[in-house]
Amino acid sequence: MAEFNQDPRASGPVITGFTAHGFKLDGDNLGPRRVESSLVLTPVSAMPWDAPALEALGIDAMAQVLDLSPAPEFMLLGTGAALAHPPRAFIQVMEERGIGVEVMDSRAAARAWGILRSEDRWIAAAIMGL
């Protein structure tokens, strides 16, 4: 009989579920909690994010990611309930700073965050609420 085991969780914050306007979190120093907003995740923290409209997304909204040391390998960008693309200028500026951006809907970004962090990847995520 085949047995499936859950991937081990990495240290740091993990999204464990969704709320109407945000996320359920665990794994940071604040314990299990709800964040009723968009969210920026780093390997060491989870912070509410006052996300602009996607078409207005600029580098100034990524201060928490850009301040991460060392810089993340790349950033997951969750665009809400559906996949949508941010301005090309935003992607170019992030890439010029050495941070690639992987764009997906927010549910996929939350799942990818958990998988990649279980592999101890040094990444960041900016995930818009549903």
Domain ranges, ordered by start, for the chain: 14-127
Neighbouring-strand partners of residue 17: 24
pLDDT digits (tens, 9 = 90+) for 105-121: 999 999 999 999 999 99
Q: Would you call 22 exposed, middle or buried from its count of C-beta atoms within 10 A (0-12, 13-18, 19+)?
A: buried
Tell me which fold the domain 14-127 belongs to.
Hypothetical Protein Mth938; Chain: A, (3.40.1230)
Kindly report the average pLDDT of the chain as a whole number.
89
Q: What is the pLDDT of residues 4-32, one digit of tens each?
A: 344 556 678 999 999 888 899 987 776 78
What pTM did the predictor assign? 0.89
